[in-house]
Amino acid sequence: MKILTLKDKYRYFETDLEYIYQDSGITEETDVNISVKNSQGDTLYSETKIMPKTGYIGGKIRINRDNFIVGSYILVVDTELKEFVVDYRAVLIEKGLSELLTGFEHIDVYDEIGVQVPINMCNFTFKNWVPDTTKLRVLKNGEDLEVYKDIYIDFDNGRLHLKNNSILDTDDINVTYQFSIFGEDTYASFLDLALDELNSSAPATAYDFESAPRVFDPAMVMRAYSKCLGRLLLDLSFWNNTLIFPEPTALKSTIQAMYQAALTEFQELKKSAKGLRMVRPRGISSQKIGMPVMLDGVNYKNWTIASIAQISGVR
């Protein structure tokens, strides 16, 4: 069984792409090829690492402007592939949404009993596990198993693979882990919708994440945050799970209040982001002014409606 995991799918320039690669079939040291390809299949980065017989390696790849541009890429480790994205949404996720929703990104589950499936494998209730082994504990019939030695973890799918340990029907596999309610693709989708909403509000604009002014950042983050809270309120299975939340009714009321507050704050931030500061310069002349004057987001305050009402041929 081969498993490739990315710590973060969305990255920006001058940050690191961190990965974990596990191969339960390794019995001796083996060379592993690692590369990054763009959407055209061109190799932008490559290296070879030695995988020890434990079947685990981890590493980092620096995302810099010399080798990368905004877009999607493929990380290839041995025969396993994972897509990652380089764009400004990574900053909004890391510094905005992850901070606001940190309580929903590290939810603890204690001693959950795994559901056994064939080939030394156990499934668990939640996916999207936090790839942090310090928060992970695995017990087989009450005895600790060592991560990356006795077991391998599919963090994305919430699945455990045992190496050299057959599972009997009478065996109990208990795991303590952390998972995140939201994935990065969910954050990215909500940020896309937030930017579209800002662009469509008057005055209409056509910014993307690279060209948008930084004053858009708080508004985009707050709108995506409100959409995350709205999704929580609509997710019925979320409230019925007493394993995680012993008082779902009280929590639901709290999230409802947070949702309304986020919507109110977004409206204020949108006014600031799309106010008169974005008035585009226009040439005008009038009976009072003999020469054309350029109006912009600053000097418009010097003119009254009467002084610019009569346009004499300049548009």
pLDDT digits (tens, 9 = 90+) for 234-243: 875 566 555 5
Instruction: Find out whether 126 and 52 touch, Cβ atoms under 8 Å.
Output: no
What whole-number distance in Å separates Cα of residue 228 and Cα of residue 194?
Answer: 12
Residue that is last in its domain, among 130, 150, 179: 179
What whole-number distance in Å separates Cα of residue 129 and Cα of residue 300?
Answer: 53
Mean pLDDT in residue range 211-219: 94
Whole-number pLDDT of residue 311: 44
Domain tally for the chain?
4
Residue pLDDT, tens place only, 8-53:
999 999 999 999 999 988 889 999 999 999 999 999 999 999 999 8
Residue 96, in any domain of the structure: no
Same structural domain, 70 and 145: no
Confidence of residue 232 (pLDDT cuts 50, 70, 90): confident
Range of the domain at 167: 107-179
Residue 92, in any domain of the structure: no
Q: What is the pTM of this model?
A: 0.82
pLDDT higher at 181 or 224: 224
283 DSSP 8-state letter: E
Residue that is last in its domain, among 19, 53, 87: 87
Whole-number pLDDT of residue 304: 56
Q: What CATH number does residue 73 fall under?
A: 2.60.40.1930
The type of residue at 160 is L
Q: Look at residue 277 and tell me whether its pLDDT is greater than 90.
A: no
Same structural domain, 11 and 67: yes
Residue 18, in any domain of the structure: yes
Same structural domain, 258 and 198: yes
Same structural domain, 188 and 274: yes
Same structural domain, 175 and 208: no
Same structural domain, 232 and 288: no
Same structural domain, 222 and 251: yes
276 DSSP 8-state letter: G
Number of Cβ within 10 Å of residue 212's Cβ equals: 19
